[in-house]
Amino acid sequence: MHAYPDERSTPMVSNLLRTWLLASLFIAVTQTGEAQTGTWGDQGDGTYCNPILNADYPDVDVEQLGDTYYMISSKQHMAPGMVILESKDMVNWRTIGHVWPKLSWDPKYNPDRMDGYKFGVWAGDLAYHDGRWYCYQIDTTNGLYMSSAADIRGPWTEPHLILRKTGWTDPAVYWDDEGRQAYLVCNFGRLEPKKPGNHLRLFKMSWDGRELLDEGEVIHVGTGAEAAKIYRVEGRWYIFFAQWFRPDPNRPDDPEADSGDRKQMVLRSKTDSIYGPYDSKVVYHRGNGVIRSCSQGALMKAANGSWWYTHQLIQNIPAPFQGRPQMLQPVQWVDGWPMIGRDADGDGVGEPVLRHAKPIPSFPITAPPTDDDFDAPQLGLQWEWNHNPRDDRWSLAERPGWLRLKASVPVGKGGFWGACNTLSQRIMGTGKGEATAKFGLSGMRPGQRAGFVRFGGVYHLFGVHVEQGGVRRLFFDANGQVTNGPVIEADTWYVRTVNDGDQACFAWSDDGRTFHDFGPTFTVKFGQWTGDRLGFFCWNDREAQGHIDVDWFQYDYDGPKAERPAERPWGE
């Protein structure tokens, strides 16, 4: 409840790697034993630069309990689903869990089908009521689901189906304690030909949050209207939502700008009824140098009475390769309307603020986890599987201190998209990044392919293929175009991938010190509602045999990073 395109030549790979190998020496020194700042997020001087989360954290909602803010973000077909983060200052966020360990409500997300790409967990709503947490989300191919928990970290109840219906999206709930009535609003799709556009429909909901009590009432119709949130401020009802404007009358003078713009709108009640009537107003849109659409987020309030709004950047540019990041904007109330950001051009509508004082000072820099040495008994919270995993085909116990991925035969059309147990995490930022991992190859068997992957809209694999005679050979696979490489005899193998913007490449080593370029520089892309990701793959085209082990993973990038322990196994 809210009470308030093309690939490059090999020489470019050498240049990119050479630059980053030198830079990594500096990064390794500055990150040991202290927090890191960067080009975005907390700047360490009482200010922050947008985005605050420059990674694929779309469709967020935020709920405050006491002095802590909790955020959820969707991740489609990835498991576990609906990541949960927490923050003390609205700027520094850390991952604390997920709502759904697996996408258990539809067999298409299981490893024997792997055909739920782009679907699964979409935009949801997080609420706290009567000592219990609630999370709502609509799988657009199935219906509306709810899970609840006494503790935000779980365990969460199994998903409860409230209403089976396809095509609707973006639920948000509100418990009105004064009227003792609960409500749910959502985008209910285009139901009436005479009323074009998406319908925001308001339902009465049972007090226990488990069922809808009526057919709902349409409170707004608009082109692409979605992602509504319900707030009550000083006795007035406010419905925040996103809506498309095509063509955009205020299109930026930029060749990459989309002709349309998803703007942030607000409905404000004229009476004390949640059903309206409502006035409507555009309160926020792109501008001030930002060409991606700015909307769809959550309203927050600090203890000092200041208001804030976190929102995503929409993927309406040619290369949103990191996905949909989160921006944080100050909010001023002007004549009963929220002014989000700053009215930079004087048109009465807010535009993004790029740098600002932190809402709540003095809290230290933190960030979602990235590095892992696989010493813990559970997977780190940064990791997510591509569809539900086969739990009998991976282990952290069979070789303590290593992640073991066991090969299965891909399903469907085979290859990467049909291979289960691909494990990955988000890339961070749009600047420079470098990720390195150490692999053990002794368990690989004929027919097996395993190694490092970058994937989102397309995939790029750098791995080892075991031929029928047992020979291990390197290969690079650019979305189905395979280039074979040299034989590798060592049982220990290191992979490094670097990127500068959306241009990335791979290199390898058998000693962790001297790296050799392999494959061309390639372009990473957004797709299937997902930004580029870093991770590990393992499958066998012939039979379910063989495994690969991962000892550690290290990721350095151009944004904030929490304190790293002084002693790490990197490079050993």
- The residues that are catalytic are 59, 226
Q: Which amino acid, residue 166? A: T
Q: Tell me the two tokens of residue 398.
A: 């069979």
Element (H, E) at 24: helix 10-31
**C-alpha–C-alpha distance, residues 36 and 33, integer Å:** 10
Q: What is the DSSP string of 177-238?
A: TTTTEEEEEEE-----TTS-SEEEEEEEE-TTSS-B-S--EEEEEETT-EEEEEEEETTEEE
CA 505 to chain centre: 23
Q: Work out the number of other CB atoms within 10 angstroms of the CB of residue 95.
A: 18
Distance, CA of 145 to CA of 510 (rounded, Å) = 48
Residue 70, both tokens: 């909790």
Distance from C-alpha of 488 to C-alpha of 510, rounded to nearest angstrom: 9
User: Which three-class secondary structure string do you get for 479-511?
Assistant: CCEEEEEEECCCCEEEEEEEEECCEEEEEEECC
Cα 320 to Cα 317: distance, rounded to the nearest angstrom: 6
Cβ-based neighbour number of residue 22 at 10 Å: 9
Which among 201, 202, 197 is positioned nearest to 245, based on CA atoms? Answer: 197
Residue 501 to residue 59: CA distance in whole angstroms: 23
Angstrom distance (rounded) from CA 189 to CA 211: 20
Residue 49's DSSP bridge partners are 41, 355
Instruction: Give SS3 for 432.
Output: strand
Q: What one-character-per-residue DSSP string does 344-413 give? A: TTSSSSBB--SEEE-SSTTPPP------B-S-SSS--TT-EEESS--GGGEESTTTTTSEEEE-----TT
